[in-house]
Structure 1
């Protein structure tokens, strides 16, 4: 995590908190994240040292003017003014991580061969929350190569209960036993 991006993200979060606007700024940051993730060209504009600050400011105004809160817009313009706009994608990610940390939220990525039913996903989230002792935001990913079961990544921990993993484990055990019996 870049310390400068962290300082900017922390400043934005603390200002939002002081003004009672955390939910509004959270929404704005999500909008920024989607825009930056969805457009390599936009990220390239902010990363480019060749493009003038005035042009970058104009891009901010045209894309986000009236769509994000004034606090968010002042923040974006400040980053451009201070020539820190290349850190914008990382600052946005860091802001989300800081918010989650302060709200005691952890993200879990759940891969399944088929989409889970709403009640299944809800039960899984409840079990993960009980295990983590925190609120869990679940991001679902469908991966047919799993054949069945689930792979859950929560922080640095991975729980692989997929059929493909079980088959791979069984295959390795059979090969290991075959090698032992040949000796």
Structure 2
């Protein structure tokens, strides 16, 4: 189980594009018989190597950098170290201007690989960190409720105030205090609008 602090919202359009490339990566790696190796190599590059080499990360993300320059960096990073499928996947992303989505592609590819093995990735978002026992109990309860094997990740996001948000695949189960307050605020606003329309002067606050 992993725990992280929420840093940014999900870009829905980028997420959809990442899924397309992720499926291509997983399919190609499975055909070559090296799915696990390719996913590990791409994940290492996206999560360990590039964060330590910000210049390379900036080149990958920049649309102003020539394709030839990006390909040279890819060769330098992968030559003799990674599977041919890994290198080819990076070149395809570079050719289509999608290297900046590498992290999202890796996330989506890992989810897809888990699904094909009968597991689903699940993200549990809480306002405060949970200890190991609480995390384990929450995962067990969710697996029983959904009748599914889960690969859990825990995220801490104080913005939800309290409660819990669970994302399993593309489905979100939102039991957060923030969402509850937003719904309550919406209902109160609707009541006040009706009060104005009907000439009622007892305000709902």
Check whether the contact 1:13–1:95 (CA below 8 A) recurs between aligned residues: no
CA 1:95–1:170 in 2, change beyond 3 Å: closer, same or farther? closer
Using the TM superposition, give the Cα deviation of residue 72 of structure 1 relative to its aligned residue in structure 2, in angstroms: 4.1
CA 1:162–1:99 in 2, change beyond 3 Å: closer, same or farther? same
2:6 aligned residue: none
CA 1:69–1:37 in 2, change beyond 3 Å: closer, same or farther? closer
Instruction: Return the alpha-carbon distance in structure 1 between the equivalents of residues 84 and 118 of structure 2.
Output: 24
Gaps of 5+ in 1: none
1:113 aligned residue: 127
1:63 aligned residue: 77
Structural mapping, 1:141-152, within 5 Å = 141-152=155-166
Corresponding residue SS for 1:86: coil
Instruction: Return the alpha-carbon distance in structure 1 between the equivalents of residues 157 and 20 of structure 2.
Output: 36
CA 1:74–1:167 in 2, change beyond 3 Å: closer, same or farther? closer
- How many residues were matched structurally? 174
2:61 aligned residue: 44
TM-score, structure 2 as length reference: 0.62
Check whether the contact 1:109–1:138 (CA below 8 A) recurs between aligned residues: yes
Instruction: Return the alpha-carbon distance in structure 2 between the equivalents of residues 121 and 32 of structure 1.
Output: 28
Structural mapping, 1:11-160, within 5 Å = 11-16=27-32, 18=33, 21-34=34-47, 38=51, 41-44=58-61, 51-53=66-68, 55-65=69-79, 68-76=81-89, 79=92, 84=95, 86-88=97-99, 89=101, 92=106, 94-160=108-174
State the structure with bigger RCO (CA 8 A, min sep 6), 1 or 2: 2
Check whether the contact 2:78–2:87 (CA below 8 A) recurs between aligned residues: no
Gaps of 5+ in 2: 1-15
1:164 aligned residue: 178
Deviations 1:124-182 (A, max 9, x none): 112222233332222222122333221212234322222333444455556667867x4
Corresponding residue SS for 1:115: coil
Instruction: Return the alpha-carbon distance in structure 2 between the equivalents of residues 168 and 52 of structure 1.
Output: 46
